[in-house]
Amino acid sequence: MQNVDADFHVKGESVFIDDMFTHERLLHAVVFGSPVAHGRILSLDYQKALAAPGVVAVLGAKDIPGENQLGTIIADEPMLAEDAVHFIGDPILIVVAESRKQAETAIKLIEYDIAPLPVITDPRTAFDKGKLIAPPRTFLLGDPDAHWEECDYIIEGSAESEGQEHFYMEPQSAVAVPIERGGIKVHSSSQNPTGVQKGVAKILGLPMNRVEVDTRRLGGGFGGKEDQATTWATMCALPAFLLKRPVKIVLSRHADLVMTGKRHPYASDYKIGLRADGKILCYEVMFYQNSGAAADLSTSILERTLFHTTNSYFIPHVKATAVCCRTNLVPFTAFRGFGGPQAMFVLESAIYRASEVSGISAQAIQQINLLSEGDSFPYGQKAEYSQAKKCWQKADELYRFDGIYKEIETFNRHHSRYKKGVATMPICFGISFTAIHLNQARALVHVYNDGSVNVSTGAVEMGQGVNMKILQVAAHTLGINPSRVRVETTNTSRVANTAPTAASSGSDLNGMATQFACEDILGRLIRFAAERLGADHPDRVTVANETVYLNGEATDLDWNHLVHLAYFSRINLSSEAHYATPDLHFDKTTEKGRAFAYHVFGTAIIEATLDGLLGTYDISRVKLVHDCGKSINPLIDRGQIEGGLVQGIGWQVMESLTFRADGSLVNATADSYKIPDIQSIPDMEIHILEDVDNPHAVLHSKAVGEPPFMYGIGAYFALLNAMRAFRDDDKPLPFHSPLTPERVLMWLYGK
């Protein structure tokens, strides 16, 4: 089925925050952020800004009626700076004016004296100086120390990956509207309306029931609006509350690039041990996460890094340690994969090095070590419904890996300026929030007495098609035409205490709650119909294709009529249902448990073509087999696979996020931060694995939002192989993503 949003998006009729509330009482907020990465505020003078045309107010920490604190996991992030600043862009003052332009102009008139303090941008330095956000954690499986002796090859090295900008099309934005008796309603571009509600309530000193948050849709989130949308919602809620006028905030692209969190950069050291037959016996790794200046979600992201240490492989002896290091960069945050990709890049780097040292191909090492059913992850969970081998075999059968390798060898023999490289990339990603309490959702379903249906859940639509999937689940469960169902905005007054739409589990959790609520209403309708039709048991009655069936035979009672009659018989046509993922547990003292409901698998083969004269390249072809369980909507899933893959390629070989020693961002404009465009999309061949099951998610589907991102890691190694084809000497290859054309040229022609 085609996504119901598609037509409206294409015609420009879908409404985003900036399209809302364009009336004249509306004020605009712009935030003045710290110009230095670390310092003590000696003085601030905003009199000139306040006197500038159109300016209504300039607000600071002292104006906050509630608590000046946004940190959710760790309380280390004031909403507005009090006496110190910790990163460039750290919010200090809010300027509110009649127009955005006036507020932006006024900001430049703010005078300040900030005494600089030492700036740390590198996680290893932060670690050496003891600047940690939380103590390190270690996952241990088997006993590596006792088994290094059995290894024929032992390789040590490091691998680094830089950050990534979300580059959602719609920047961070919100509108706050004061409502009666000092309450407030916030329209927020947030993946986490409950988080916004809680944050705004805390800042304003209100109970949560005085704050209503409503989210229609996001122009992309990708994790960037999981935690950090709250910051910007509070920046307009505070002035709206104090000035009693609606206030809008929409970050400029530049402000969004500089002031908001991104994917965490990581520096890592590894040691890997293999037997002569390619079997990996031992793996030891230390991850230094660059967390930025505040905790945000860093500890949770670090945990997911540890959970994905061994990707799609079984390694019997593993010791993985990880630590959140505090630096003077913007607090880094959730981004598709949530720390998983960073771990997987390190292991692929280790495998690549091991292949160079041992002479066993990287592809063979990958294949030999693939996870089997029942194998243990380092956190003790056993692989169930593991499609690791099935995906690999299917990909090999469909695409003939050997043939591709031969084709490329031939190409490289016959070309001197261009060389190609190829790499395989298996993935495995755990589905569930690792913070167990977040694995819950609710749905509120109304069947109106004309037969139309309205569904509200905690899920936020951000382009991933969750509303479409929920619509399909409702229509399927009720046995009615999908055109009858409307999925409402996500609203904290309708559905409370929601988890963020994240961890790829939006449709798993909210879809299941929707199914339960629909089953509840349908059960009442069926009992009612059974009575009317004189059935001896309600089991004899079913609803399908908008028709009531008795003993498998269509009756003349259709959906409309059934609902109409039920209403007049005073049957409740609404239901609220709750779903909590069963059987999840984790013990942090032993770091063992069943952390995930299930895992998602896949295998990609990726080709890169490199121009050795210019150092430019394209990722020319990607073929992959992906496990979607029983897909609810293959068209949407395909879109997620393509989008995730391309975003992953961007992270690994295109998008350079570079910070100077003073903590400033080099790539702070759209022309210096390069995301993949239509020209950089590879030829893609995507096969969704058939005949697979998954009893752990709604309608036997599997989550699809994040896992395909990690195929992009294969692009890095395909490119390394193309580089090797130019220079087959001993020069060590770089394990430092992104591999930009500059880095490739430096390697090709440097000493």
Residues that bind ligand MTE (CB under 6 A): 220-223, 336, 462-464, 466, 501-507, 640, 643, 703, 705-706
- Which residues of this protein are in contact with ligand LUZ, per CB under 6 A? 297, 300, 304, 334, 338, 433-435, 438, 502-503
Q: How far is the CB of 71 from ligand MOS (least distance, A)?
A: 19
Measured from the CB atom, is 221 or 682 closer to ligand MOS? 221
640 binds, among ligand LUZ, ligand MTE, ligand MOS, none (CB under 5 to 8 A by kind): ligand MTE
Q: How far is the CB of 162 from ligand MOS (least distance, A)?
A: 17
Write the DSSP assignment of 495-517 as a string of letters. S-SPPPS-TT-HHHHHHHHHHHH
Measured from the CB atom, is 292 or 705 closer to ligand MTE? 705
Query: CA 250 to CA 172: how far, in whole Å?
Result: 6
**Do 90 and 84 touch, CB atoms closer than 8 A?**
no
Residue in 487, 420, 411 with CA at minimum distance from that of residue 453: 487
β-bridge pairing 173-179 and 183-188? antiparallel
Query: CA 456 to CA 209: how far, in whole Å?
Result: 18
Measured from the CB atom, is 187 or 304 closer to ligand LUZ? 304
> Three-state DSSP class for 325?
strand
268 binds, among ligand MOS, ligand LUZ, ligand MTE, none (CB under 5 to 8 A by kind): none
Q: How far is the CB of 493 from ligand MOS (least distance, A)?
A: 23
β-bridge pairing 317-326 and 280-292? parallel
435 binds, among ligand MTE, ligand LUZ, ligand MOS, none (CB under 5 to 8 A by kind): ligand LUZ
Torsion sign, CA atoms 87, 93, 99, 102 = negative
Write the DSSP assignment of 87-109 as a string of letters. STT-EEEEEEESSHHHHHHHHTT
Measured from the CB atom, is 325 or 502 closer to ligand MTE? 502
Residue in 628, 600, 617, 620 with CA at minimum distance from that of residue 685: 620
Cα 265 to Cα 32, 353, 736: the distances in Å are 26, 21, 11
685 Cβ partners below 8 Å, 6+ apart? 399, 621, 622, 623, 624
225 Cβ partners below 8 Å, 6+ apart? 168, 172, 189, 190, 191, 192, 218, 462
- On the 0-12 / 13-18 / 19+ scale of CB atoms within 10 A, 488 is middle
Measured from the CB atom, is 100 or 225 closer to ligand MTE? 225
165 binds, among ligand MOS, ligand MTE, ligand LUZ, none (CB under 5 to 8 A by kind): none
Where on the phi/psi map is residue 692: left (φ > 0), alpha (ψ -120 to 50), or beta? beta
Measured from the CB atom, is 242 or 251 closer to ligand MTE? 251
648 binds, among ligand LUZ, ligand MOS, ligand MTE, none (CB under 5 to 8 A by kind): none
Q: How far is the CB of 13 from ligand MTE (least distance, A)?
A: 18
Write the DSSP assignment of 37-97 as a string of letters. SSEEEEEEE-HHHHHSTTEEEEE-GGG-SS-----SSSS---SS-SSEE-STT-EEEEEEE
**Do 335 and 220 touch, CB atoms closer than 8 A?**
no
Measured from the CB atom, is 355 or 581 closer to ligand LUZ? 581
506 binds, among ligand MTE, ligand LUZ, ligand MOS, none (CB under 5 to 8 A by kind): ligand MTE
Query: CA 576 to CA 563: how far, in whole Å?
Result: 18
Cα 454 to Cα 450, 471, 526, 574: the distances in Å are 12, 9, 19, 9
Q: How far is the CB of 649 from ligand LUZ (least distance, A)?
A: 20
Calculate the CA dihedral of residues 545, 547, 549, 554 and round it to 10 degrees: -100
- On the 0-12 / 13-18 / 19+ scale of CB atoms within 10 A, 183 is middle
571 Cβ partners below 8 Å, 6+ apart? 524, 525, 528
- Which residues of this protein are in contact with ligand MOS, per CB under 6 A? 191, 221, 223, 226, 334-336, 338, 502-503, 706
Extended beta strands in 693-747, E state: 736-737
Measured from the CB atom, is 428 or 606 closer to ligand LUZ? 428
462 binds, among ligand MTE, ligand MOS, ligand LUZ, none (CB under 5 to 8 A by kind): ligand MTE
Q: What are phi and psi of 100, to 5 degrees?
A: -65, -40
Q: How far is the CB of 3 from ligand MTE (least distance, A)?
A: 11
683-688 sheet: strands from edge to edge: 418-431, 598-611, 617-626, 683-688
Query: CA 330 to CA 293: how far, in whole Å?
Result: 6
Q: How far is the CB of 639 from ligand MOS (least distance, A)?
A: 16
Residue closest to ligand MOS (Cβ) = 223
H or E element that contains 173: strand 173-179
- On the 0-12 / 13-18 / 19+ scale of CB atoms within 10 A, 117 is middle
740 binds, among ligand MOS, ligand MTE, ligand LUZ, none (CB under 5 to 8 A by kind): none
Q: How far is the CB of 671 from ligand LUZ (least distance, A)?
A: 30
Query: CA 564 to CA 582: how far, in whole Å?
Result: 37
Q: How far is the CB of 435 from ligand MOS (least distance, A)?
A: 12
Where on the phi/psi map is residue 629: left (φ > 0), alpha (ψ -120 to 50), or beta? left
Q: Confirm whether 690 is a catalytic residue.
A: no
Measured from the CB atom, is 297 or 388 closer to ligand LUZ? 297
273 binds, among ligand LUZ, ligand MTE, ligand MOS, none (CB under 5 to 8 A by kind): none
Torsion sign, CA atoms 472, 474, 477, 480 = negative
Measured from the CB atom, is 132 or 435 closer to ligand LUZ? 435
Scanning 262-339, the segments in alpha helix (DSSP H) are 298-307
Measured from the CB atom, is 440 or 454 closer to ligand LUZ? 440
Q: How far is the CB of 287 from ligand MTE (least distance, A)?
A: 20
466 binds, among ligand MTE, ligand LUZ, ligand MOS, none (CB under 5 to 8 A by kind): ligand MTE
Give me the half-sphere count of Cα atoms (radius 13 Å) on the Cβ side of residue 530: 16
Measured from the CB atom, is 223 or 663 closer to ligand MTE? 223
Q: How far is the CB of 627 from ligand LUZ (least distance, A)?
A: 18
Q: What are phi and psi of 110, to 5 degrees?
A: -75, 130
Q: How far is the CB of 318 from ligand MOS (least distance, A)?
A: 25
Measured from the CB atom, is 503 or 665 closer to ligand LUZ? 503
Residue in 166, 330, 172, 137 with CA at minimum distance from that of residue 251: 172
Q: How far is the CB of 43 from ligand MTE (least distance, A)?
A: 41
Q: How far is CA 397 from the centre of its chain?
A: 31
Catalytic-labelled residue, pool 165, 226, 591, 706: 706
Which of the residues are catalytic?
706
